[in-house]
Amino acid sequence: MTTPKSVTLAAPGAPITAEAPARPPADTTTQPAVDTGTHTEHDTRTSGSLWRSRSYWVWLVSDTAQAVGSTLQFFLIPLLVVLVSGDAALAGTVAAVGFAGRIATTLVGGVLADRHDLRRLMVLSGLSAAVVVGGILAVIELEVGLVALAALNLLAGVRAGLLGGASNAALKQVVRPEVLPTASAANQARDAAVSMGGAPLGGALLGIGAVPALVVTAVAYLVSAVSALVLKGDFRPFLSEESSSIRGEIGAGLRWLWARAELRRVMAVALLLNLGLNGAVTTLLYHLATTGESPARIGLVSTALGLGMLLGAAVAGPVVQRVPSGWVAMVGLSLAGLSMLALPFAPGFWSTLAILTLGILGAPAANAAIIGYLMHQTPRAVLGRVMSAVELAAAGAMPLAPLLAGWGLAAFGLRPTLLACALICVVAVGAILTSRPLRSLPRPEAWAPAAE
């Protein structure tokens, strides 16, 4: 729930664009392909075991390296501001600027993913992220000031919004539809491992110094770019014959999402739940930073979340295959939201970590069910726009999380701020439990035929 891999779902069967001419074979042209709704004999996507597919492994390395870079950057920037200024509110403001840049450009990024070769966008994403981190390193070393750091964090957010979603969209071109639930569950385990290890790694590196921490972050992004460069497959866009404006193309993706009652509800739930959960976690991180805790101990908060995700991911695959997707989503998301009610009353540091670990156990299965269903049903022609719109709905309130944490701590203290976050989560849980369309989603074997 705390990563760009947002939770959502979509209903099958609604048309998106006019039917287009047949797609040319992948090895005969370099022009953009056209969506036909069917596979051709040149389809090279993985249909058997994920672990025997070279393309999936290369994609996984690239996506994982980008996730490591993003995790380190998300962890390091606010703490660097706190260490320089000692001001949690200022750290929250700098972090919110980066989030705002991402949110403002996410929908345009979806259009780019549908218009351009996804592999090239993945390469550009990794290279540009490494350059931005290099700029942040220069600002820290030259002591230029926090305004310059905030500007670079804004640029990092814009880069993530425009290019960061290409990797997610590319997964559907790497594996066949019947493998998507398994791939989504595997990715949840990977995300858990990154979440569990990224923050302690960032804390350990920051304990050595800002330079090694930022250098490792830049190297992770470069690994992502190089891996994407050698990724095999057909990642060209599916384009209709009639061109449209960026606004028109964004509108087509939004209309596809809005036509689905269960998706409208889950988008609202994701927005509220992400705000409440991220607000609570960020509040804990800022509280620990401003009370003199070591970076390594601060990193244990994210480790606790990662451990819960990893344990949940260990059983996510069988759960997603055997239990109706609607119930998987409802139970997993409700557990995460309701656990926040206990957080303000945790008697100590270790009990706080236990609540975070137990509360997030159901999230991997919920994410795998929802993301797998969404990608299974969404045609490649609009997949970038749909995924970006979903991410926007899930992360739209996230710029408020560091502001809520920073200013809430400064004005009211730890417990009232955590209670405010818990109240937001309770509202989200109420919306989950009252959604009949969400409850009716079946198991993957009963999903409608995939749109290609």
In the chain, the amino acid numbered 96 is: A
- Sign, CA dihedral 126-131-137-140, equals negative
| Paired tokens of 390 | 């979903």
pLDDT tens digits for range 39-82? 444 455 555 566 677 888 898 999 999 999 988 988 888 888 87
pLDDT tens digits for range 109-119? 888 888 888 88
pLDDT tens digits for range 147-187? 888 888 899 999 998 998 888 888 888 877 667 777 888 88
| Paired tokens of 17 | 């664009």
How high is the pLDDT of residue 452?
Answer: 52
How high is the pLDDT of residue 191?
Answer: 79
Taking only Cα atoms into account, the Rg of the chain, rounded to an integer number of angstroms, comes to 21
Q: Are 82 and 135 in contact (CB under 8 A)?
A: no
- From residue 215, how far is each of 63, 193, 212, 301, 417 by CA, in Å? 19, 21, 5, 23, 34
Mean per-residue pLDDT over the chain, rounded: 79
Q: Which CATH architecture describes the domain 50-231+249-446?
A: Up-down Bundle (1.20)
Quickly count: other Cβ atoms within 10 Å of residue 263's Cβ: 25
How high is the pLDDT of residue 239?
Answer: 64
DSSP helix/strand/coil, 260 = coil
How high is the pLDDT of residue 309?
Answer: 86
Q: Which residues of 264-298 are buried (b: 16+ CB within 10 A; e: fewer)?
A: ebbbbbbbbbbbbbbbbbbbbbbbbbbeebebbeb
- pTM for this one? 0.71
- List the chain domain ranges: 50-231+249-446
How high is the pLDDT of residue 412?
Answer: 92
How high is the pLDDT of residue 41?
Answer: 40
| Paired tokens of 9 | 């779902």
Residue in the block written with tokens 């218009």: 115
Instruction: Give helix then strand counts, H and E, for the chain.
Output: 17, 0
pLDDT tens digits for range 268-282? 888 888 889 989 999
| 238, β-bridge pairs | 33
How high is the pLDDT of residue 29?
Answer: 33
What distance in Å separates the CA atoms of residue 228 and residue 22, rounded to the nearest whole number? 28
Which is nearest to 62 in space by CA: 190, 205, 237, 243? Answer: 190
DSSP helix/strand/coil, 238 = strand
| 46, β-bridge pairs | 175
How high is the pLDDT of residue 39?
Answer: 40
Question: What is the maximal distance between C-alpha atoms in the chain?
Answer: 65
What distance in Å separates the CA atoms of residue 201 and residue 215, rounded to the nearest whole number? 13
Low-confidence ranges of the chain (pLDDT < 50): 1-42
